Structure 1
Amino acid sequence: MAPRTERRSSLPLPLADQTVFSFRFTPSPRGARLARRLASCQMDAWGWHHGTPAHDSVELIAAEPAANAATHGRVPGRDAELRLSREDGGHVRVEVSDARGERLPEARDAGSEEDGGRRLLLVAALAEEWGTAPRAGAPGKTVWAVVPAGPVRQ
């Protein structure tokens, strides 16, 4: 009988000891749902459990630009990316990158008659700060937000 070899998953697993979680996803509704779910799982692995303000804020903030990447940032053959970073001082940085650098998001007032941008009001309300930047190492843009998470409560 041949020895068993360990098979590693290409899917990064949420782990408590990693300070950065990065995952590439297809810019589609299914990919956006997976990005939201993995953000939730990583927050839980870090100790900010479901129902805590930090967990729920990061989950929602990750979901909005991921949905925008699926709706507005899709380029055939190009992936989007979710990146979460635990930062000093009890903050979590959320980044979602897509391949459409010419389409920058704008937060619009709830009463605006223009389409789109209202979901970013949620990001602005939950994040300490947020913005956009050119995508590092690839064409496109990154939407980022910094969320105050505070200490982990066991």
Structure 2
Amino acid sequence: MTSSARPRRRRRDRDRGTYSVETAVLAPVMISLLLLMVAFGRVVDAEGAVDAAARAAARAASLERDATSAESEAQSAAVRSLETEGVTCRTSSVVIDTGGYALDVGVDATVTATISCATPLSDIGLPGLPGSKTLTASWTSPIDTYRGRQ
């Protein structure tokens, strides 16, 4: 009986330490995958926030009576929307196309807001991940056809 017990013990001795090696190899891979999921989640969340900010800016601009007020209101609406969503932009730009205000009353007109925001990703700490991702969204809102324009 003792001769049959020795081979089993030898097999166990050969496997000793393999779990530590597997953990040492797989732990960094699992952590990297987790950080990559966090990065993708942050980008998707920021895309939604930039889209909502473009929508808010276009809507705020379409409610004004003149192009100057429309641009001012759109800028502040975009900033408020991004702050409310908790998105910080390294660099951002808000471009408002107010060409519809030059059209006569009774003519269908629109105002378009385009927002560009560079969201930082460098704080995640994943090697190979870019420092930031630039997100752009555009939204068009109709101007009231029969409301006075200046």
Does TM, scored on the shorter chain, surpass 0.5?
no
State the structure with more CA Rg.
2
Quick check: which one's helix share is greater?
A: 2
Instruction: Please state which band the TM-score falls in when normalised by the shorter chain.
Output: 0.3 to 0.5
